[in-house]
Amino acid sequence: MPDQNGAPPRIVHLDKMTMGGIDIPRPAVPHDWREHEFTDPADVGERLAGARVAIINKVRMDAATLAALPELKLIAVTATGTDVVDKAAAEAQGIQVRNVVGYAGTTVAEHVVMMIFALSKGLIPFREAVTDGTWENGKSFTVFAAPVRDLVGQRLGLFGSGAIAQGVAARARALGMEVVFAGRQGVAAGEGRLPFEEVLATSDIISLHCPLTPETQHMLNAQTLASMKKGAFIINTARGALIDLEALEASLDAGHVGGAGIDVAPVEPPPHDSPILRLARRSNVLVTPHSAWLSREAVTEVARITGDNIASFLAGR
């Protein structure tokens, strides 16, 4: 599928570093492949000049950027979320946007379960009791560093019901937990779901697996956090802005929320004064740097699907 001047199509990968060293399979047809480890916003236009295909993960493609790229015909996103692309502008300009779905169901679900275990068993404070000298300088054979819960019989409330949430549900049930799915806030719960407010009020652990929309932004705020069961844990591997982090800080300070496991932030990487970095210093909060998705198996699948997306586009499919 050469360009009008007969040149092979140019394919430009703008943020290769997000693939963790795993290469995207290149199409079998002649092409001009170029890649950059990282791209500043100011360099996007220059690097994509003349490109038919752009490969991105978190590089923002707004309407002004797209308008300056008349030859661009495909944006291949190496992720499920496409919120970094102005899709209306892309459609108006005849640019396809293809993403990757269904690749992280195992790895993110396992990450959620890891966080549930870490919080329920007090992994951080018990480790600190060893490293800070509390154990060696104590008089007892053990250290009561944190409350410990068994998972059997605990209620896990899931917000969202896609592949990842279903993967978490299956693993939680295998551990003897009671699993419930929440309906949307302000909407009557459908079959197989409990009302949003009931799940908040009765769950020992809640886990967020819903997209970020105007309706879900700060779905956990001062009001909804206060309605949660006292001592409950929060897990968020979805989108950072689902939680008002300052409200979460206040709830933790008050001893209402029992702890949190967070893998995502509203801005990534977070600025030095971000609440997420203050939260990470707490012994009842586990923060990971948006790493739930990046098992080798999952990233390899992202690369494979992205390669297929590009190859099928160039083949006219």
Annotated catalytic residue 268: yes
Q: Determine, yes or no, domain membership for 228.
A: yes
Q: Is residue 292 in a domain?
A: no
Do 228 and 137 share a structural domain? yes
Cα 7 to Cα 313: distance, rounded to the nearest angstrom: 17
206 three-state secondary structure: strand
pTM of the predicted model over 0.85: yes
Residues 192, 71, single domain; the answer is no
4 domain-assigned: no
211 φψ region: left (φ > 0), alpha (ψ -120 to 50), beta (else): beta
* Active-site residue, selected from the candidate residues 239, 272, 304, 317: 239
**pLDDT of amino acid 4:** 59
| 172-189 confidence digits (pLDDT tens) | 999 999 999 999 888 777
What radius of gyration, in Å, describes the C-alpha atoms of the chain? 23
Are 178 and 280 part of one and the same domain? yes
Check if the beta carbon of residue 217 is closer than 8 Å to that of residue 239. Answer: no
Residues 145 and 122 in one domain: yes
Q: Let me know whether 98 and 21 are in one domain.
A: yes
Q: What percent of the chain has pLDDT over 70?
A: 98
How far apart are the two ends of the chain, measured CA to CA in Å? Answer: 12
Q: Which of 268, 278, 297, 317 is catalytic?
A: 268
Burial string for 70-99 (b: 16+ CB within 10 Å, else e) reads eebbbbbbbbbebeebbeebbeeeebebbb
Same domain, 164 and 203: yes
Residue 3 has pLDDT above 70, yes or no: no
Does the residue 263 lie in any domain?
A: yes
pLDDT tens, residue by residue, 12-22: 999 999 999 99
Question: What is the CATH classification number for the domain harbouring 167?
Answer: 3.40.50.720
- What are the strands of the beta sheet with 285-287, ordered from one edge? 178-181, 155-159, 205-208, 233-236, 259-262, 285-287
CA–CA gap between residue 39 and residue 58 (Å, rounded): 10
Task: Write the pLDDT tens digit of every residue in 221-274.
Answer: 999 999 999 999 999 999 999 999 999 999 999 999 999 999 999 999 999 999
pLDDT tens per residue, range 26-53: 999 999 999 999 999 999 999 999 999 9
Instruction: Annotate 275-306 with b (16+ C-beta within 10 A) or e (fewer).
Output: bbeebbebbbbbbeeeebbbbeebbebbbebb
CA dihedral defined by 204, 285, 175, 156, rounded to 10 degrees? Answer: 30
Q: What is the mean pLDDT of residues 276-293?
A: 97
Residue 49 tokens read as 């000049």
Average pLDDT, the chain: 95
Residue 2 lies in a domain: no
pLDDT at position 10 over 90: yes
Whether residue 265 is found in the same domain as residue 192: yes
Report pLDDT for 1: 52
Query: Residue 244's domain spans which residues?
Result: 105-287
Overall number of domains in the chain:
2
Task: Read off the pLDDT band of 317 (50, 70, 90).
Answer: confident
Q: Is 215 a catalytic residue?
A: no
What are the φ and ψ backbone dihedral angles of 74, each rounded to 5 degrees?
-145, 135
Task: Note the pLDDT tens digit of each residue in 80-116.
Answer: 888 899 999 999 999 999 999 889 899 999 999 999 9
Q: 304 and 161: one domain?
A: no
**Which of 98, 278, 282, 290 is flagged as catalytic?**
290
pLDDT digits (tens, 9 = 90+) for 107-134: 999 999 999 999 999 999 999 999 999 9
Instruction: Say if residue 78 is in the same domain as residue 217.
Output: no
CB atoms within 10 A of CB 205: 26
pLDDT tens sequence across 137-162: 999 999 999 999 999 999 999 999 99
Token duo for residue 224:
């909804």
Q: What's the burial of 35, exposed, middle or buried (CB within 10 Å: 0-12/13-18/19+)? A: middle
Residue type, 201: A
Please tell me the distance from the alpha carbon of residue 143 to that of residue 126, in angstroms, as a whole number: 8
Condensed to tens digits (0 to 9), the pLDDT of residues 182-221 reads 998 887 777 889 999 999 999 999 999 998 889 999 999 9
* Residue 133 sits in the same domain as residue 17: no
Active site residue 290: yes
Q: Is the pLDDT of residue 303 over 80?
A: yes
d(CA 126, CA 244): 28
Residue 5 domain-assigned?
Answer: no
DSSP β-bridge partners for residue 290: none
Same domain, 83 and 140: no
Residue 314: pLDDT over 90: yes
Residues pairing with 76 in the sheet: 55, 98
| Together in a domain, 198 and 116 | yes
